[in-house]
Amino acid sequence: MTIRSLTLTNFRSFESRTIDLGGRTLILGPLASGKSSIYDAIRWLLTGVCRGLDAAGKGADRLIRTGESQATVTATIEHKGKTATVTRSVRAGAGTELRTDVFQGSSSDQQKALYGWLGMSSLELLAALDSDVFLELGHVQAKTLLMGLLNVHVTVNDETLSLDELERRYEAAFERRRTLKAILATLPALPAPAEPPQDADEIRSKLTALRTELDEKKAVIAARSGALTERRKSFEQLLAKLDEKRPERTATELWQRVTEAEQTRERAHQDLKEHDALVARETPTESAIDPARVAALEQFNPKNGCVLGGGVACPAKRSVFQAAARTLSETLAADTEAAKARDAVKERRAVLANSLETIAREQAALREAHTYAVTWEQEHARVVALLAEIPDAPEAAADDDLKQTQADIETLTGRIRKGEAVLEKHVRLANEQRAYDARQQEREAHDRDLRTAEFHVEQYGPKGVRVAALGQALADWQGAINGILSPFGYTLAVSVDPWRVDVNGRSWVMLSTSERLRVGIAVQAAVAAASGLGCILIDQVDLLLSNERKLLFDLVMSLPLDQALVARSYEPAAESPASNDRLTVVRLQ
């Protein structure tokens, strides 16, 4: 990329200035003459961010020259054989706008098109234009930048993945992990039952036998104590209470209705499927017959001339037109009826769907009523049977026999009471066991899915397979950086995992400001070369000693880049280089 000209209007300290730039441009000026503002203008023009703005480009109002309402930066840019004029402006309180003469759409659309034309992401562009950007990146952003910059592809299970595909899979796995963790958080582990449940049916069977024995003992007591009448009365009262709760229909009738409801549901379901098929198969169309045409044929009178013109005699009889009108009218009526029929099919389908839901609710209610009727009939039959077993003329029982029978009754009553408590306990334990087993199975399934998602997050994430692939691709790029740094006596080493950037064996954060500038410029140039941008901006070279500045200028002149802009300060009375065929000198006052 080569910026041929740059125009600043009401930008920072510039009222209006157009600057012509060459492949190698030296920008000279005293302190506070606007050298850094030129670089801010280029960064802001291309990316929407620069010094003094946040990462989203907010705060652009402060770029406007004091006393003005709008700032504008325009540049003529050549890249890949194409020339574009790019303009970014900010109006006080109204935000920024990017316009070009080659791209279309909104400001954001043109920004995306600009990145696409330059062949790089916003992060890569910032790293090429600013020597501080790469060194200050976190490990995730730095790895992402290098993966895209060096066009690293990763092989996973014999499948070659680009960075974009790797990121998509990582994001999908990360979201899947988050979802599963949220699900598991709503499914706390249930406590295991205090003891294994016993077979409730077996307990019920034993209780039934005990109750039968108890009933028999009570019958003996009643028969032998002359209290049969009272016993009969008690059973009759029990029957009366049962009759108060008698179901409206017998279990057989209710089961028949359950069966009928099931058949009705099946028919409704089949009707619904058939109507779904009809709706899917028949697409409503409007009749091709114009009612106005029918009316015209009915009212046409041949005596008034031909339909083609009143001056032409019509040989046809009026009945011919009326017959044609009747035919068209019948066809139109048929079309109308067909459309009504199709609408009726749709309405019927909606009715069937509602009916199916109603039938399901009714069927559930019928099943519940049937269960109650079966229980009621069993209890009723038991009481009736016991009532029938009471003898009409029992013999008196001996006192000892009565006492033993009464003792047996008390024992049986205690055993039944204890058995009912045991049954209630083990029914509860069985329910707890079922809930526990279901929850465990559900949690185990989610745990398996979570482990898989965790594996994929690690595999596709910043510390996964991309680390080894990136490490292999870094060698050449790192060599390019060290080729620039070697005249300054520095060697840069990048460790991918754990992420670390060292210079001469120590972390870059320990570098002085001037050392950091030299390292940053080398990284900046390597990013510009690898991305194909071919353009760098170098500021603050006054931090370097004179011999270091000479080394830097020699390197800049020799770097395989399309354009390099270097800014340095000078005293107005001091000598400065003049422009030549290899160097363009821009002087600021």
Q: What is the CATH number of the domain that holds 16?
A: 3.40.50.300
In a domain, 493, yes or no: no
Q: How far is CA 374 from the centre of its chain?
A: 51
pLDDT of residue 227: 57
In a domain, 108, yes or no: yes
**Burial of 441: CB neighbours in 10 Å, binned 0-12, 13-18, 19+:** exposed
Question: Cβ neighbours of residue 143 under 8 Å, at least 6 residues apart?
Answer: 462, 466, 467, 470, 496, 499
In a domain, 366, yes or no: yes
User: Using CA atoms, how far apart are residues 35 and 27, in angstroms rounded to an integer?
Assistant: 7
Q: Are 112 and 234 found together in one domain?
A: no
Spans in the chain with pLDDT lower than 70: 222-228, 281-288, 294, 297-298, 300-302, 305-313, 391-399, 571-575
In a domain, 556, yes or no: yes
Strand partners, 89: 72, 97
Which uninterrupted H or E stretch holds 176? helix 163-185
Q: Are 373 and 241 found together in one domain?
A: yes
Among 345, 375, 393, give the residue marking a domain's end. 393
In a domain, 257, yes or no: yes
Other C-beta atoms closer than 10 Å to the C-beta of 269 total 14
Q: Which tokens sit at 426?
A: 């083990």
Nearest C-alpha neighbor of 427 from the set 158, 201, 221? 201
Q: Write out pLDDT tens, residues 254-286.
A: 899 889 888 888 888 888 788 777 777 665 556
In a domain, 364, yes or no: yes
Q: Are 115 and 235 found together in one domain?
A: no
Q: Are 101 and 235 found together in one domain?
A: no
Report the number of distinct structural domains present in the chain.
2
**What is the DSSP-derived secondary structure letter of residue 575?**
-
In a domain, 325, yes or no: no
pLDDT of residue 251: 85
Among 393, 408, 433, give the residue marking a domain's end. 393
Q: Write out pLDDT tens, residues 306-318.
A: 655 556 667 777 7
Q: Are 567 and 39 in contact (CB under 8 A)?
A: yes
Among 393, 412, 430, give the residue marking a domain's end. 393
Q: Are 243 and 362 found together in one domain?
A: yes
Domain span holding position 347? 227-282+334-393
Q: Are 373 and 244 found together in one domain?
A: yes
Which uninterrupted H or E stretch holds 98? strand 95-100
Q: Which tokens sit at 455?
A: 């594996």
Q: Write out pLDDT tens, residues 377-407.
A: 898 888 888 878 776 644 444 467 778 888 9
pLDDT of residue 21: 96
pLDDT of residue 66: 94
Q: Are 61 and 7 in contact (CB under 8 A)?
A: no
Q: Are 112 and 235 found together in one domain?
A: no
In a domain, 194, yes or no: no
Q: What is the DSSP string of 89-136?
A: EEETTTEEEEEESS--SSHHHHHHHHHHHHTS-HHHHHHHH-TTHHHH
pLDDT of residue 249: 87
pLDDT of residue 300: 65
pLDDT of residue 395: 46
Q: By percentage, how much of the chain surpasses pLDDT 90? A: 47
